[in-house]
Structure 1
Amino acid sequence: MQIYKVGGAVRDRLLGKPVTDIDWVVVGATAEEMLAKGFRPVGSDFPVFLHPRSGEEYALARTERKSGRGYGGFTFHASPEVTLEEDLIRRDLTINAMAEDDHGALTDPYHGQQDLENRLLRHVSPAFAEDPLRVLRVARFAARYAGLGFQVAPDTLELMRQLSESGELEALTPERSWKEISRALMEDHPQVFIQVLRDCGALKVLLPEVEALFGVPQPAAHHPEIDSGVHTLSVLEQAALHKQPLSVRWACLLHDLGKGLTPQSEWPQHIAHEHKGLKLIKQVNERFKAPRDCQELALLVGQYHTHGHRALELKPSTLAELLQSFDVYRRPQRFEEFIAACEMDARGRLGLEERAYPQADYLRGAATAARTVAVQPLLEQGFKGPELGEALKRERLKALKAYKEQHSQ
């Protein structure tokens, strides 16, 4: 029995990056031998075991054969005869197909170390094209390592293009797709993930609503970058630079989908794109079964982001309706995330990345002014039931009028 450290742990050590998860592969062992040593089996598809003390995953060396559609359409074969090289060849990228023994000696049959030095994301074998999930994974690695200068190798991009055209991407489950998309959006360069998907034709299959934004112009006075798709990538880039949470990044990706529906005759204007985009945002949310907080924020940002940009011009009554729409009295954090998404939208414009966004503090101040209206005095005046709600609304509106007057002096 021989045990090797494999995959990401080897790759990241060679890159000088912190190693978090360690995967191990065991060559020359049977499941019975693993059990006898106290390892605990997990999963039913192939033999993976948890170490009795560390809890880390140890997988028996295995081969795989395509037996159906999609990510799950594989038959696995694990036995003591499977070699380390046979196990490594079924992996996605050469930089993930290296192994290290307990002395630190490297096994690199597919030249992963050379591709690390050349900053290339290259497939290990033609079997790469059997698993549609790898299109998303490679795009995610491109987003992770873009800051180090990594590019997808042209022949790998071609295989990704073939996969995108094969119909295999449609076989991915919403859960698997969302897992990759959400992880990619949280990388340092999530805009690269979207760009790579576009380059290989996968974006029009997975997110046709985002693909439709490219080539659609916007008024140059507000959007020096002009192209709606390019703007979306820039907004996503700003969200990553400002360390925004997943819900904000998801909202940034989807906020302008309505612009893809504007007839060419109306370009570069996009009248009511906020409202038009809601049905598209809803269908993307449902397609990937996004978590509820991501779904809700994306819809609210889609509908109200132009309100955010015009915050200083809004009438007190409009401001009051906006705060009510966000349920800001019970869910203040969601309004804070809305403000963040609006700011990223404003910064995601060519040459305006550093421009101040006074709307953010103005909106926060408005929320505070409305929240400071106390209920107790109204109860003491005898208001109750629906009348109490109306009285509370009137007092909040009064507070917002005072707030606006104070800021217009």
Structure 2
Amino acid sequence: MKIYVVGGAVRDRLLGLTPGDRDYVVVGGSPDEMIAAGYQPVGKDFPVFLHPQTHEEYALARTERKTGQGYHGFSCYAAPDVTLEEDLARRDLTINAMAEDATGAVIDPYGGQQDLQAQVFRHVSEAFAEDPVRILRVARFAARFPQFTVAPETQSLMCSMVRSGETKHLVAERVWQELSRGLMADQPERMFMVLANCGAAPDLFAGVLPPAGVLACAVQKHLSLPVRVALWLSACADQQVSALAKDLRLPTDCKDMALLLVRYQKALLTLDELSAEDQLNTLERCDALRRTDRFKELLSALSCLGADALLAERWLKTLAAAAGVDAGAIALAVRTQEHIATRIRDARIEAIQNIA
């Protein structure tokens, strides 16, 4: 058996970046040999094993054959006679189709190093067209490596895949996995640009593109993923956000943040025009008195929508004034139960009015 580091770890090292998780390919091995060496099998679709000490993943070299549409439409062949070059040939981009042996030597049968130098995303083979997730991966890499461009032949192939309907068969979990990673990259707008340019955006997220500049602002301010999702969808209607959240199976925190922003951004952006009662109404509708940390996250989006830098601080003063009312003391002082809520609201409105 021979073991190689493959994929992103090799690419990142050659780019001078700190590699993340390392992927390994085992050439000339069998499942029985791996188990005998102490590796634990975990793969379902193809043989993957965990190292007995490091718990890193080691996959047997394999080839794949297209059997149906979408991400799951493949059959896998993993056996000792599969070569390293055959395994690398099934990968998406040349820059991800390199390997490194135990001595540190790079095995690069498809020109990945040349494309790294040229800063080009180029598919390894026509097999790229068999997996629509690869369109999303190219888009996500474009957000992570904004200096790279998509090779014309790869762009053409991606457009052809969209026209053939491949992107209609992607499962929501895989779409969201790639989108979420791209949203947290250096230039998320490039991900949406690549997906729009190849025609995939309507199939993947109803063609909803972020307003110009909002995600660049989010990156600059190191905003959280839920806030970035909210900014992406900030020009949508309430029903659009709900529909997209359902289609993409967005995490609850991302869905809730997006809905809060589209519903209440007008009020949040016009604090000076609101009466004290309307300010309290906005706080209550955002559940700010109970979920203060989430409200603070929501406020962090406002400056990316053109708000004054001090607006968030003023909303926090408003929240502090309302929260500072001693509701317990009011409840004890009021004899009639049905009047308690009214008295507390009145006290909060008065406290907001009295903000210096």
Taking a change above 3 Å as real, the CA distance of residues 284 and 196 of structure 1, as seen in their structure-2 partners, is same
Is contact 1:233-1:253 (8 Å) kept?
no
Q: Does 1:294 align with 2:254?
A: yes
Which of the numbers 279, 282, 287 marks the counterpart of 1:319? 279
User: What TM-score comes out, normalization by structure 1 length?
Assistant: 0.85
Partner of 1:177: 175
Structure 2 CA distance, aligned partners of 1:54 and 1:302?
45
Q: Which residue of 2 aligns with 1:307?
A: 267
Q: 1:188 corresponds to which residue?
A: 186
Contact residue 205 and residue 248 of structure 2 kept, 8 A? no
TM-score by length of 2: 0.97
- Which runs of structure 2 are paired with 1:275-286 in the superposition (5 Å)? 277-286=237-246
Which residue of structure 2 aligns with residue 343 of structure 1?
303
Letter in 2 for 1:242: K
Deviation by residue 1:145-193 (Cα, 9 ceiling, x = unmatched)? 11xx111111111111111222111111111111111111111111111
**In structure 2, C-alpha distance between the alignment counterparts of 1:384 and 1:155, rounded to whole Å:** 76
Deviation at 1:306, TM superposition (A): 1.8
Q: Unaligned stretches of 5+ in structure 1?
A: 212-228, 258-276, 348-355
Aligned equivalents of 1:383 and 1:305: distance in 2?
Answer: 38
Contact 1:312 1:362 (8 Å CA) reproduced: no
Shift, 1:394, TM fit: 1.1
Show the 5 A alignment for 1:155-304. 155-210=153-208, 232-257=211-236, 277-304=237-264
Aligned residues of 1:65 and 1:75 also touching (Cα < 8 A): yes
Give the direction of change, closer, same or farther, for the CA distance of 1:197–1:313 in structure 2 (3 Å limit).
same
- 2:83 equivalent to 1:87: no
Aligned with 1:210: secondary structure? coil
The residue aligned with 2:116 is 116
Q: CA separation in 2, counterparts of 1:57 and 1:311?
A: 53
Measured in 2, the distance between the counterparts of 1:365 and 1:105 equals 60
Please state how far the C-alpha of 1:127 moved relative to its aligned partner: 0.5
- Secondary structure, aligned partner of 2:12: helix
Deviation at 1:357, TM superposition (A): 2.2
Q: What is the Cα deviation at residue 72 of structure 1? A: 0.8
Change (3 A) 1:359 1:131: same
CA distance in 1 between counterparts of 2:352 and 2:51 reads: 60
Report the CA distance shift for 1:190/1:145 in structure 2 as closer, same or farther (over 3 A).
same
Equivalence for 1:220: none
- Aligned in 2, Cα 1:105/1:301: closer, same or farther, shift over 3 Å? same
Partner residue in 2 for 1:102: 102
SS of the counterpart of 1:19?
coil
**Aligned position for 2:340:** 388
Identify the range of structure 1 (89-98 vs 337-346) with the bigger mean alpha-carbon deviation. Answer: 337-346
Distance 1:153 1:387, change over 3 A: same
Contact preservation (8 Å) 2:226, 2:254: yes
Is the alpha carbon distance of 1:386 and 1:84 closer, same or farther for their aligned partners in structure 2, counting shifts above 3 Å? farther
8 Å CA contact retained: 2:196, 2:207: no
1:377 aligns with 2:329: yes
Looking at structure 2, the residues matched to 140 and 383 of structure 1 have their Cα atoms a distance apart, in angstroms, of 61
Task: Encode CA deviations 1:315-342: one digit per residue, 9 max, x unaligned.
Answer: 1111011000111111001211221112
> Could you tell which deviates more after superposition, 312-321 or 72-81?
312-321
Distance 1:362 1:384 in 2: 34
Partner of 1:363: 315
**Structure 1 residues 384, 164: CA separation in 2 closer, same or farther (over 3 Å shift)?**
farther
> Deviation at 1:386?
4.1
Q: SS of the counterpart of 1:194?
A: helix
Instruction: Name which of 148, 168, 174 aligns with 1:150.
Output: 148
2:330 touches 2:340 (CA, 8 Å); kept in 1?
A: yes
Distance 1:386 1:139 in 2: 57
1:221-270 CA deviation, whole Å, 9 max, x = no partner? xxxxxxxx6xx14101111111110100000000102xxxxxxxxxxxxx
* Residue identity (%): 45
- Aligned-partner SS, 1:77: strand
Is residue 2:350 matched to residue 1:398?
yes
